[in-house]
Structure 1
């Protein structure tokens, strides 16, 4: 059984989370500069079996696509071209950034640490992955 890798795609940075081999536990993996994302994924999939990519789907409250979806669509095309054997699923990512920030507060991180946007992106990817695992 391969891992599931979740991607919280952003214009500058992309948060990445991954499951264990049994697809039970979601853990934050890292945050990478978006321009290096495909290269990072190539390296990662060369070392680890990945069964599925989950990509966050930003939506408005009325269920329409968010303005950032325009940036994600070209990435999805690249992802499917580079990794044709790994399926891609989309997961609603509404409120993940707010939930990630609240998670940082709840875990006792100082104000300075909570300004770390890379950490917020990584936690957001983890929340996307957890929501998918719960729905399975």
Structure 2
């Protein structure tokens, strides 16, 4: 089986999480600068088989798209063009940043470590992926 790769897309940084080969466990992979994201994904997919991209879908509380959705749509067009054989699914990402921050507190990270926004993005991608795996 190939992996599932989740993307928590941001204007500056993007968190990435991935499953194991059996698609049972979601693990944080890394955070990359968004401008380098496609290059990173090209390198990663040459080393590891990926059968699905999950991309977070930010929504407001009233279920309307958030402001960042416009940037994500542009990215999705590039992603589908670059990887035509890997399908893309969207996953509601409401509250993932808050949940990621709480996970950092619960795990005992010190206050200065919790300021690491790259780590929050990576954990958010992991939460997006984990919620997808639970829903399967």
Task: Tell me if TM exceeds 0.5.
Answer: yes
How far residue 58 of structure 1 moved from its aligned partner, in angstroms, is 0.1
Provide the residue aligned with 1:135 in structure 2.
Answer: 135
Provide the residue aligned with 2:59 in structure 1.
Answer: 59
Rounded to whole Å, the distance in 2 between the matches of 1:63 and 1:2 is 32
Provide the residue aligned with 1:46 in structure 2.
Answer: 46
Rounded to whole Å, the distance in 2 between the matches of 1:74 and 1:115 is 29
Rounded to whole Å, the distance in 2 between the matches of 1:49 and 1:71 is 26
TM-score w.r.t. length of structure 2: 1.00
How far residue 61 of structure 1 moved from its aligned partner, in angstroms, is 0.5
In structure 1, the gaps of 5 or more residues are none
The CA RMSD over aligned residues, in Å, is 0.2
Rounded to whole Å, the distance in 2 between the matches of 1:121 and 1:93 is 11
In structure 2, the gaps of 5 or more residues are none
Q: 3-state DSSP class of the match of 1:111?
A: coil
How many residues in Structure 1 have an aligned counterpart in Structure 2?
136
Moved over 2 A (4+): none
Rounded to whole Å, the distance in 1 between the matches of 2:2 and 2:62 is 35
How far residue 59 of structure 1 moved from its aligned partner, in angstroms, is 0.2
Provide the residue aligned with 2:102 in structure 1.
Answer: 102
Provide the residue aligned with 1:30 in structure 2.
Answer: 30
Rounded to whole Å, the distance in 1 between the matches of 2:81 and 2:2 is 20
Provide the residue aligned with 2:13 in structure 1.
Answer: 13
